Structure 1
Amino acid sequence: MLLQVARAIPRYAERDSPTPSPPARHEVTGLEIVLAPATLAARAERLGRLEPEELRKKAIVACRDADATALWDLTEAHLVTRGRKGASVSPRTLETYHDSVDQFLAWAGPAGVQLLRPRSSDGFAFVRALEASGLSPSSVRVRLSGAKSLYAALRWAGATDAAPFEDVRPGRDPRAAWEKRGPYTDTEVNALLKHADPQERVAVLLAGDCGLRNSELSAVLVTDLRLDEEHPHVMVRGKGRAGHRETVPLSARTEQAIRIWLPNVPPGQVHLLMWRSRLSIARRVQKLCEFAGVRYEGREVHGLRHTAGTRTYAETGDILEARDLLRHRDISSTQVYVQYARRRKKAANRDW
């Protein structure tokens, strides 16, 4: 059985109250963000420096007990000590792989998989189960990468020689990239803004006007804002190397929304928004869409980023402008926004 993420949560009981109660969990400080790669490396080193037999025993016991925490610690240590990016692997990647490992383990137990001695068919069965659950091919590939990383870690620890995912490939997606997750229209964004509270308005505009990713929204610090510069912008911790920061220009209405929201940020809170995870932001945007009568499914939070890229290209006709706003390393990633913009144009023969 696959883990299913609950879609719905209650909206604020009082719509006119812009400030929810602060979360009880520990808030991450700027210093902690700077030290995060060092902490990650230290965690990995604790396992990496173990004697081979001790590491092997830990891995075997973790598999015997189906200990998800211990198995993730092992996978994380392998990614950091043996992975291509080492300790600079992004928090977003680690979070995604962690979710994927948890999802595989949740499926493996009921499916009768022996973690150290999986059947040759188990890898294929897991992927087919993911596909049957309705996940897109791209999401299946991500889950598959996480499961592969788990077994790479188990082989590194000397606990098994099994590689049940070595020849497994998810089904191909017949849809073109621009047919998968389209942007919100300007009318839909305006509907969201009409029904949003001050904090939601900031999130919608940071994504829909400025192109921030979901994971970047929850990471913005108050000290990242540069509202009084000649060209107001925000410093964003991007998708790539941990600690790397990028400049993102703010639209006039985004700057205004941030200035309205800032007095509501509780004293001592370092983050601009009070939602501390991608899931919490996704739930809030989903509920906002329901409240405003705007379709969420198939676009989610990332569709707002597509809105920013599409509008930039439609208004400028310059793909480099869209690339720079979205901070793509490869312009091929930006090509999809040309297609989004073209789909919005009136057909050439409409007025014939």
Structure 2
Amino acid sequence: MTEKPPTPSTALQTYDGDRLAQARSLAGLTDEALRVRAVTAARDKSFEDLWALTLAYLSSDSQAGISASPHTLRSYRTGIRLFVEHAQDHAWNLLRPGRREPSLYVASLGTAGLKPATIQNRVAAATALYRALRWAGATEADPFTDVKRPRDRTRGIVKNPPYKADFVRAMVDAAAPDERALLLLMAHAGLRITEALSVEWQHVNLPGRRLLVAHGKGDKARLVPMSARLRSALLELQGDRTLPHHGPLFSFHAYSTAYERLQRLALQLGREHEFRGFHAGRKYAGTQLYAAVKDFTRVAGFLGHEQVDTTRRYVELPEDDLNDAVEQFD
């Protein structure tokens, strides 16, 4: 579906600079001016305008605030675009949706063959849009509050298990210096991809064998230990005279660039079918650490999880983990 360009008189203009400045450009309006713009955007079902409104809300008034990750923003943007397209195709009144329309929307996602986790993400995006519309004073509607959403009964560790050790070793051995460092930041240090791409040289303490994750999820900082293999990779990267020894570790910062480079590496090894993105590397680190310390609380701190229950979904336990424990039962 072709998106219509916004008209100058009513459009919520998308600021090309930083997100906080964009949020201020909307939040700084009078209550009535913001309400009118939001109502107009909802009436016209203008995706770009509704996205600008949601982004301003997320950046200025939501719990995640300005620290919302690029991955979260990409997911919300995609979900809102698809939701607005659905609203256009089914003649929704966004500000006064029908009582049964939200349930039918969720049902349509399931009929389209989307997995429960994807449906959850799509509904989360639409919910964020309605929070933004309420923030702007355009509506009181909260249409997805009572809508039942499908639950995935398959554990995440089964759907997306950690990488196997031989795959990690093969990738690390064949990688270029910067790719090797990136792989080990996830598979040995347990960093999220956004955290890994944000590491700077001043965060690296090679003598102390510690790495500062300065801006983790929720903008929380943490210190993580570095393996000998990771320290060696960073020393190799530091020894590349074409790179500066200050500022960011990597010359690339985009998620897509990192993905394409590691995907290409797996293809060169003939193991492209084993490459499943970045999260499986982080799960590999959590599983390795749990095998060594047998303590979910310590692994949670290592991975930057607030809740230990989250960490349990990152650790793959061997099927015979209880064999020795029950062997000598009376």
Question: Which TM class, normalised by the smaller chain length?
Answer: 0.7 to 0.9
Measure the CA separation in 2 of the matches of 1:108 and 1:85.
27
Q: Which residue of 2 aligns with 1:15?
A: none
> 1:329 offset after TM fit, Å?
1.7
> 1:302 offset after TM fit, Å?
0.1
Measure the CA separation in 1 of the matches of 2:274 and 2:47.
30
> 1:300 offset after TM fit, Å?
2.6
Q: Residues 1-352 of structure 1 correspond to what in structure 2 (within 5 A)?
A: 40-87=19-66, 89=68, 93-227=72-206, 229-241=207-219, 244-262=220-238, 263=240, 266-267=243-244, 270-294=247-271, 299-338=276-315, 340-343=316-319
> TM-score, structure 2 length as denominator?
0.78
When residues 147 and 53 of structure 1 are mapped into structure 2, their CA distance, relative to the original with a 3 A threshold, is same
- What is the one-letter code of the residue matched to 1:249? P
CA contact (8 A) 1:232 1:255 kept: no
Measure the CA separation in 2 of the matches of 1:69 and 1:168.
26
Q: Which runs of 5+ in 2 are unaligned?
A: 2-16, 325-330
Report the 3-state secondary structure (helix = DSSP H, G, I; strand = E; otherwise coil) of the residue aligned with 2:317.
helix
> 1:95 offset after TM fit, Å?
4.5
Q: Which runs of 5+ in 1 are unaligned?
A: 2-35
Measure the CA separation in 2 of the matches of 1:317 and 1:173.
27
How many pairs align? 308
CA contact (8 A) 2:201 2:248 kept: yes
Measure the CA separation in 2 of the matches of 1:337 and 1:317.
14
- Note the alpha carbon deviations across 1:173-204, whole angstroms, 9 max, x for none: 11134322110111111122233222221111
Deviates more, 1:327-336 or 1:281-290: 281-290
> 1:89 offset after TM fit, Å?
4.9
- Note the alpha carbon deviations across 1:291-326, whole angstroms, 9 max, x for none: 334365794310000000101111333334422321
Measure the CA separation in 1 of the matches of 2:249 and 2:97.
46
CA contact (8 A) 2:201 2:245 kept: no
CA contact (8 A) 1:313 1:337 kept: no
Measure the CA separation in 2 of the matches of 1:109 and 1:265.
52
RMSD: 3.2
When residues 167 and 334 of structure 1 are mapped into structure 2, their CA distance, relative to the original with a 3 A threshold, is same
Measure the CA separation in 2 of the matches of 1:122 and 1:325.
43
- What is the one-letter code of the residue matched to 1:247? L
Measure the CA separation in 2 of the matches of 1:48 and 1:168.
30
Report the 3-state secondary structure (helix = DSSP H, G, I; strand = E; otherwise coil) of the residue aligned with 1:126.
helix
Q: Percent identity?
A: 33
Measure the CA separation in 2 of the matches of 1:270 and 1:222.
6
> 1:265 offset after TM fit, Å?
5.6
CA contact (8 A) 1:212 1:305 kept: yes
CA contact (8 A) 2:266 2:275 kept: no
- Note the alpha carbon deviations across 1:144-165, whole angstroms, 9 max, x for none: 1121111122233233444332
> TM-score, structure 1 length as denominator?
0.74
Report the 3-state secondary structure (helix = DSSP H, G, I; strand = E; otherwise coil) of the residue aligned with 1:247.
strand
When residues 267 and 88 of structure 1 are mapped into structure 2, their CA distance, relative to the original with a 3 A threshold, is closer
When residues 104 and 321 of structure 1 are mapped into structure 2, their CA distance, relative to the original with a 3 A threshold, is same
